[in-house]
Amino acid sequence: GYLAKHTLFPCPDPKLGKGVLVQTTLWGNLILGPTARDVGNEEARKMSSAAVQEYILAKCKLLVPGFDPRETFHAFCGARAKSDRGDWIIEHSKNDARMIHVAGIDSPGLAGSPA
């Protein structure tokens, strides 16, 4: 059965980034995460990948106590570059008028653009 029927997204941890959410797939599997670590935050930067995984699992266990971490079958990671301009970068390419460069977009990103 489904351990969660809705996306669960608590308030983010002010020290360690955007927080952790729990979301159910169409097949009833849970998606855990994401979390983001600011490289300017020394405490977050020094966390090992195992510590980050434990952090995510612990936060998810608070939201879904019946979740068994042994049922986890995928883990993903990535890097999201931030802009040093203080804002998102959305601009036409200087080399190709058919291209638009989009970079440095934090949450809620383009999903919040209609607002």
The pLDDT assigned to 57 comes to: 84
DSSP labels for 43-80? HHHT--HHHHHHHHHHHHHHH-TT--GGG---------
pLDDT digits (tens, 9 = 90+) for 16-41: 666 778 888 888 788 887 777 777 77
Distance of CA 84 to the CA centre of its chain: 20
Both tokens of 81, joined, read 């570059």
The pLDDT assigned to 114 comes to: 55
Cis peptide before 14 (omega within 30 of 0): no
Q: Which residues of the chain have pLDDT under 50?
A: 115
* pTM for the full predicted model: 0.60
